[in-house]
Amino acid sequence: MAFSAPYEKAAGLRQGTLPIWQNRVIIDVDAFAHNVREICRHVGPDVELIAVVKDDCYGHGADILSPVALENGADVLAVVNIDEAIALRSSGITAPVLILGITGPAQLDEVPRRGSMTVLCQLDIARRLDEAARKVGAKVPVFVKIDTGMGRLGLRVDEVDDFVSAVRDLEGLSVEGLITHLPDADEADKSFAYGQLDVFNEIIVRLRGTGLELPRNHIANSAAITEMPDAKYQMVRAGIILYGPHPSAYVKESPDLRRVMSFKTPIIYLKRMMRGETVSYKREYTVPVDRSVIATTPVGYRHGYLRALGNRAEGLYRGKRVPVAGVVCMDMTMFDLGPGADAELGDEITLLGRDGDDEIIIDELAERAGTITYELMTGLGMRSRRYYISGGEVFGEEPPPGHRLIGE
């Protein structure tokens, strides 16, 4: 993507005055590539890495980062539904794609047509998928989903044998392995997760005793990859750790990870306010000193900057922390820059990422909002214009999905 000279400089990581006043998400592609390589090193060469790129790479941009994941060691890309699989194929991806969710009857024909793998836990869906595969002369690799404690998708343990017996006779399907999910591997107490491993092991041994090979089983999510080496099996599924954060505060033994996403917003209005005056809805923020500079920015809860961050979060302005002043609005948020600020319209405030010697990480924002990093990351990443950098320079941009900026 070509930029004019002043715009290219403004769109990089360096804080400056923006000629176009808009929020921007900055995706560090080099950091993402580093994380993929580190995870591959951590799990070893004999374990296949499934890179979870669902929900537009957690808001980072699947069309840009999916090829990067493959170039740096990922073996399989995982999505949540057939529409995401189709999008990857349409972008030129030819590598294996695994659908982690349920594909409804009306779209089952697309699974073999797009050369996708999928999970299965419903016999009627399995039979329909078999018909769809045989119609085009394909054989769809499938993973049997077992519920060992998540309570979401998957067969109950006592249903597995009959289901597998029925599916292995379907000519259009090839049972690659088993899959289950760990609901609390990111907690300090992993006893339940280890109990799930025991159940998973028993099922694999029992089914292999019937002559089924099951060459590609997987249970490990990001937390298990980092802290449960017995959960590696033949494949692992890396999600949140691809993008930099730890799965939770209890997971400390991660590989060397780098943060991929930053988020910046420009100042669009400035005013000096006097001590005792109030800012935003409900008048919950009171200006503490005379002639404080209140900066209004065009970011709000519509852009994924949650309302719960009002009066709790901070931004970074010229390397110093400045508080959110009042309730976060739908499209605007105010910051108190203090009485000595010599601010200009178009100056940026960093809401996520580094400025100078300080950094706001998404774990901090999530804690202050009373939520998890996943919710904040996907919200921020999917609602503002994204800029992709490598070597500190911008090489591409994407508008927020389904949104057109005024004047474009």
Active site residues: 54, 281
Q: How far is residue 162 CA from its own chain's centroid?
A: 35
Tell me the C-alpha distance between 307 and 322, whole Å: 17
Radius of gyration of the CA atoms of the chain, in A: 24
Helix, strand, coil % (nearest 5) of the chain? 35, 25, 45
Q: How far is residue 3 CA from its own chain's centroid?
A: 27
Tell me the C-alpha distance between 90 and 297, whole Å: 36
Three-state SS for 141-192 is EEEEEECCCCCCCCECHHHHHHHHHHHCCCCCEEEEEEECCCCCCCCCCCHH
b/e per residue 30-69 (b: at least 16 CB within 10 A): ebbbbbbbbbbebbeeebbbbbbbbbbbbbbbbbbbbbbb
b/e per residue 109-148 (b: at least 16 CB within 10 A): bbbbbeebbbbbbeeebbebbbebbbeeeeebbbbbbbbb
Using an 8 Å Cβ cutoff, are 390 and 383 in contact? no
Using an 8 Å Cβ cutoff, are 182 and 193 in contact? yes
**Total residues belonging to the chain:** 408
Q: How far is residue 195 CA from its own chain's centroid?
A: 27
